[in-house]
Amino acid sequence: MEKSSPEKLILVTHEAGGIACITINRPHSLNSLTKSMLTDLARIFKSLDADDSVRVIILTGSGRSFCSGIDLTAAEDVFKGDFRDMEIDPVFQMEQCRKPIIGAVAGFAVTGGFEISLACDILVASKDAKFLDTHARFGIFPSWGLSQKLSRIIGPSRAREVSLTATPINAEQAERWGLVNYVVDRSELLNKARQIAEAIIKNNQDLVLRYKAVINDGFKHDLTRALALEKERAHEYYDGMGKDYFKKMQEFIAGRNTSKPSSKL
């Protein structure tokens, strides 16, 4: 693996096939985030989104924790001044990222770390993973989407209990409630994330990006509007492909058993 980021606390590695792996690397503080780390994380996601060689992003943490949220000793520095600047907001940049993001969560994902995990498209958790919302405990108002996203995933009653009591969700519960896609041994966490990434990479890259966008965008609307959005995007897609598209598709289907899928389809 080639380390492509000079940052010590946020590491980036580029792997074969178009996988980029981001590691939050402050294990002695359970990967708590300082202002400079938030800025670096946001800029890295924006940079990887613009990098045509990157097709899937894996986000993980080093050591015993995925991310324990904002470093409370630096909270004043984080929340004052330009904290509303979307350019340096990692969750906003993750939500804007066109590339699929796979979160590989081991240990704790606490408050801001929980919100960062919710900004991933697919989550894999180790058996010792715990998701914990401590906003109410410390008197910090959520601003990265936890109050709205969690209820849409696990239901409002469960979300209220989790957030108002600051009770952790363990890995088994998270899988049962649909919060995570898979629970695996810690030793297999990154392998499972890479397996998912490799399965994505095998598909048509242009449609992967469009498919992620229509799922995420449609989820913000009621079903009627979401179905209309799918129709709109489908018409845009086929109109942009030109007259030869269906001919190419037929040629691909005819030769599918003897040739690899074309990235142009």
Mean pLDDT of 144-171: 97
**pLDDT tens readout for residues 67-114:** 999 988 766 666 665 556 788 899 999 999 999 999 999 999 999 999
pLDDT beyond 50 at 265? no
pLDDT of residue 227: 96
User: Taking Cα atoms as reference points, which of 124, 264, 108 lies closest to residue 194?
Assistant: 124
What is the model's pLDDT at position 250?
A: 74
CA distance 193 to 104: 6
The answer to whether residues 35 and 78 touch, using CB atoms and an 8 Å cutoff, is yes
Please enumerate in sequence order all residues whose Cβ is within 8 A of that of 194, keeping only pairs 6 or more positions apart, or say none: 15, 19, 58
Residue 4 — very low, low, confident or very high, per pLDDT cuts 50/70/90?
Answer: very low
Q: CA 155, CA 153: separation in Å to the nearest integer?
A: 6
- pLDDT of 72: 80
Separation between Cα atoms, residue 9 and residue 41, nearest integer Å: 10
- Taking CA atoms, 228 is separated from 96, 168, 173, 232, 238, in Å, by 22, 38, 34, 6, 16
For 255, how many CA atoms within 13 A lie in the half-sphere containing its CB?
Answer: 9
Instruction: Dump pLDDT digits (tens) for 108-131.
Output: 999 999 999 999 999 999 999 999
19-24, strands of its sheet edge to edge: 2-3, 10-15, 19-24, 56-61, 101-105, 122-126, 182-184
pLDDT of residue 253: 73
Per residue in 182-207, pLDDT tens? 999 999 999 999 999 999 999 999 99
Domains, the chain, in order of start with CATH, read 2-201 (3.90.226.10), 205-254 (no CATH)
Cβ atoms of residues 41 and 22 within 8 Å? yes
